[in-house]
């Protein structure tokens, strides 16, 4: 997508602004923000603006009733095409809840799932950290702009996520915390994912919003049971009573989502016109030859390989999953000889 098309999307999609719906029709587009967003896009190689018509727009997210028209992405954009599982829960989680989250997220990331959450304290942070520890991919959906780190205590986690996965937002890059944006971003958390796992949620927990949205989006919902004392897991128990699958281990989730994950990858192959013989003949020798043993920028890979950017990104994901290359800040490095 060229810069002019991005400019038009940003100018004529006011939904990307952090304003209540009843004010959008009256709002005046600040074209200075459009220019600032385009300057942000050009400022770093790991900055992306993805619109609904972009081949890299997450296909599951495009299926919800109100997909964000514009996504600002910072980090490894290929993370968006992996089958994803959302993990959400209490901000004031117990040690047991944090440990359970870490175990689930670690095992799921080891199985090739991206772990999606909201980078909040508690369960969200534990899920992101476990995926990173598993050398997997994790996606943080922000209720702020992509350049705003919130909460501040997650500054190191924010940078770790960018290096191993990505942060995404539907808001202008420098938008700060705004209370109405956080519940709204939950539709993206669940919309990106094949299923949503809720760990340690009370009846008033905001994570139940994500679970409700997942149900409305016809996605799977999972809940981890806890003690009946104190009410810290009563929201999870209510979800189980209403049809959510009880989770004791990652196997309970994979059992439900394994086939959906395979279907998701098959749809990606079709969407990006990757033929069966191309998949079987991995590791794409011309593409692999474009990646060096020191950091190679994605632009250099595209130029050297002679392939389109969307096909390169999908095939690089295949190479990464098979262990031929690794995504690093600034591009990719080759890990082994053919």
The neighbouring-strand residues paired with 73 are 48, 168
283 cis-preceded (ω within 30 degrees of 0): yes
Is the torsion defined by CA of 113, 116, 119, 125 positive or negative? negative
CATH number of 78-260: 3.40.50.450
Residue 177 corresponds to which tokens in the numbers above? Answer: 């915390």
Domain ranges of the chain: 78-260, 272-334
pTM over 0.95: no
Identify the pLDDT of residue 103. 96
Is residue 333 very low, low, confident or very high in pLDDT (cuts 50, 70, 90)? confident
Is residue 188 very low, low, confident or very high in pLDDT (cuts 50, 70, 90)? very high
Those residues with Cβ within 8 angstroms of residue 164's Cβ, 6 or more apart along the chain or in another chain: 75, 76, 131, 132, 135, 136, 137, 138, 327
Identify the pLDDT of residue 270. 54
Instruction: Say if residue 79's pLDDT is above 60.
Output: yes
Whole-number Å distance between alpha carbons of 194 and 226: 24
* DSSP-derived 3-state class of residue 58: coil
The 3-class secondary structure across 73-128, one letter per residue, is EEECHHHHHCCEEEEEECCCCCHHHHHHHHHHHHHHHHCCCEEEECCCCCHHHHHH
Instruction: Say if residue 171's pLDDT is above 70.
Output: yes
Instruction: Say if residue 150's pLDDT is above 80.
Output: yes
- The answer to whether the 78-260 and 272-334 domains have the same CATH topology is no
Fold of 272-334: Arc Repressor Mutant, subunit A (1.10.10)
More confident residue, 190 or 297: 190
Average pLDDT of the segment spanning 145-170: 96
Distance of CA 179 to the CA centre of its chain: 21
Whole-number Å distance between alpha carbons of 101 and 104: 5
Is residue 326 very low, low, confident or very high in pLDDT (cuts 50, 70, 90)? confident
Identify the pLDDT of residue 16. 47
Whole-number CA gyration radius for the chain:
20
More confident residue, 35 or 235: 235
Least confident of 3-17, 62-76, 227-241, 293-307: 3-17
């Amino acid at each position: 997508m060229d810069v002019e098309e991005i400019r038009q999307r940003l100018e004529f999609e006011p939904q990307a602004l952090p304003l209540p719906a009843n004010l959008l029709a009256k709002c005046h587009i600040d074209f200075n923000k459009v220019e600032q967003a385009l300057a942000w896009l050009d400022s770093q190689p790991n900055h992306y603006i993805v619109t609904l018509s972009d081949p890299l727009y997450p296909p599951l997210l495009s299926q919800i009733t109100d997909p964000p028209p514009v996504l600002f992405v910072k980090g490894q954009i290929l993370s968006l095409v992996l089958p994803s599982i959302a993990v959400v829960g209490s901000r004031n989680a117990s040690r047991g809840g944090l440990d359970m989250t870490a175990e689930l997220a670690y095992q799921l990331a080891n199985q090739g799932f991206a772990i999606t959450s909201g980078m909040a304290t508690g369960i969200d942070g534990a899920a992101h950290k476990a995926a990173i520890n598993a050398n997997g991919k994790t996606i943080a959906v922000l209720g702020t702009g992509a350049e705003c780190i919130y909460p501040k205590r997650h500054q190191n986690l924010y940078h770790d996520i960018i290096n191993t996965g990505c942060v995404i937002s539907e808001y202008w890059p420098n938008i700060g915390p705004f209370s109405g944006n956080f519940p709204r971003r939950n539709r993206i958390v669940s919309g990106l994912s094949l299923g949503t796992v809720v760990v340690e949620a009370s009846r008033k927990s905001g994570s139940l919003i994500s679970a409700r949205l997942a149900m409305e989006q016809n996605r799977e919902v999972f809940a981890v049971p806890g003690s009946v004392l104190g009410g810290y897991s009563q929201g999870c128990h209510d979800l189980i009573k209403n049809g959510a699958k009880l989770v004791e281990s990652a196997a309970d989730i994979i059992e439900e989502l394994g086939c959906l994950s395979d279907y998701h990858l098959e749809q990606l192959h079709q969407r990006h016109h990757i033929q069966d013989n191309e998949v079987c003949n991995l590791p794409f020798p011309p593409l692999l030859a474009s990646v060096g043993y020191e950091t190679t920028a994605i632009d250099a890979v595209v130029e050297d390989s002679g392939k389109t950017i969307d096909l390169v990104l999908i095939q690089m994901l295949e190479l990464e999953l098979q262990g031929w290359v690794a995504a690093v800040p600034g591009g990719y490095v080759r890990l082994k000889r053919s």
